[in-house]
Chains A and B, each alone.
Chain A
Amino acid sequence: MTMLKELVAELIGMFLGEKRLTVTILVLVAVTGVLVDFIGLDELVGGAVLLFGCPILLIESVCRAARRGAS
């Protein structure tokens, strides 16, 4: 039973390591989906939102962790 709990925790930890980064990635994907599928924006514009949004979220997350670690 303990091992099963550890397995589930490992699986959850694989994808939900840093809560804020997880939430912002999911919001970005949802926004891209809305832009492309519901608003009917050119798919490449939607793709650019996703493509450039992810690296920006990454940099913000790393810098936030650095500020937290340093303060």
Chain B
Amino acid sequence: MGSSRLLIATDAGAPGDGVATAAAVAVALAARETTDGAGVLFVEAGARARRRPTLLSSTSARALEGLVAAGDPPAAAAARGRICWADLELEDGWTERLAGMAALTRASVVAHLPPAAWREALDDPELAVAGVVVRADPREHRHLLALLAAELRDDGIPLRVATRPLGLVGARRALAGLDPGGPAAGRARRIAGRLAPARGQALPLVAGLCFVTLLVATALAALGGAVAATSRDQRAADLSALSAARSMRDDLPRLTAPALLPGGSHNPAHLERGEYLARARDAAVEAARRNGAGAIDVGFPDAADAVPVRARVKLGADPNRWAVAQASPPQAPAVESATGDYSGPLATRQGKPMRPDVAAAFDRMAAAARRAGVSLLISSAYRSDAEQARLFAANPDPRWVARPGTSLHRCGTELDLGPATAYGWLAANATRFGFVKRYAWEDWHFGFDRAPVPCSAASNAPDEADGAAPRSMPEFVPAAYRPAIAGAAARWDVSSNLLAAQLHAESGFDPRAVSPAGARGIAQFMPGTAASYGLRDPFDPDSAIDAQAHLMSDLLEQFGDVSLALAAYNAGPAPVEACGCVPAYPETQAYVARILALMGGAGEWVAPLEVRLVA
């Protein structure tokens, strides 16, 4: 304890025994306060005999002995066992001398006073009495005790009464500064504890619990902070990549705009590829800086493509923090959102019904398989819910037959293919044609994975053209030309999206268009090319579109690549053949980029692109 504590001890009756009791209490206090190191000073007023130091005494008692002996005025002191004994003559000013002794040390002070001196000690504010111990027989001295108790209660000073003597041995031990032993020791300890409720064993426990509670909270906070820092880094990478993709999305129309205006002058709206990528890079760097990330590494995974739309950002500080974002057409809803049975038109292959675009894709796949020496057989395709119910009834095990209403076969997009010898070829090649193996454990089951989503509302929309027409024709295609485009696409096995984008780029669907170079009609045929494709009237949209599809089919076969075929369509096959690339004519490069962008849904003409994270 920081300040000394003064306990007044006295005896109401039998003189002598009271000193021993007071000494026992002092010993108990000293035993409790050994950790503190200050010890206990026992002051005896009017001692009959001078107490001598004992052979054995504690360090703190000896230290106190030195302090008191060297005090002002010095007093007789003796280190006895755990406590230090000091004499006090009850002459004038004894309370000041007692206060002076108490002030010498941080130790607790137990003063044994005769009853006549109580009042004076209690009234002296300097002494600040913390408690009173009385050795008395409650029956014999009950009036005295009642009076004392009442007075002390008014002063707010606790009183403890020692009702039993220590016994001969206990008293001698206590007077020697030792624990009296036995029940007497327990009583002394209780009195000491109640009069001086200092730190107990529970206090460190409570403090420890408080500390542990706060420590756990701090540890959780630190852990949360570490997780937050990681997620912040990832966020910076994500937002950087998104910013780059956003920049690409916004600049895409300028990239795909022709570099030269029809008059031959530079098109101010056109953006060079290098500048397009640099702007995306700048957007990523700015996002990284403003989101608290340091140096970043920006890459464009599809930089080799005609129209790059992907950006990859790596944080310089942490190679594990990276993100890829791209500008892409709005995501089709997932298969799980499929509702209801397929209700659109059905095409038939090998006697099995399926969605027309699935049939067209199957035709391409079957042709490729034939070239590889594999004949594909369809064992099952579209199954209505009613058929599925019959199948399930025959084999009611959901592991092998899906419950009615849950099988994707009802969407017209699923094919069960054979024979078993074709599984290997299918596994390796089906994805090229848009088919995916739906379930790892069904080698024969392939689903068509290109838009529209199986059983979605879009897949059910009736198409103007019957047969194998992909139904996802861009919105910019005028309704009047949709059947012609779908028909030509089916006839020449060319993507209707490709044809539509070309027509948009060539003439803007104007069947009467004539270019300064002499190209004519909706598909902008030069007279020589028109003649070689048997096109008599290039201004007739239906036959022009058919010839365009025929030409594109030939070019695709010749070059095996959409970009090269488009370049050949625009600049003629010779320069493409010469370099095996898109020739370095600004007009041709812009033409290819623009059509690829249109096919990907880019530009403002089609549904706006979304910017999203892809990795």
Q: Do A and B come from one complex?
A: no
Report A's interface with B, CB cutoff 8 A: none
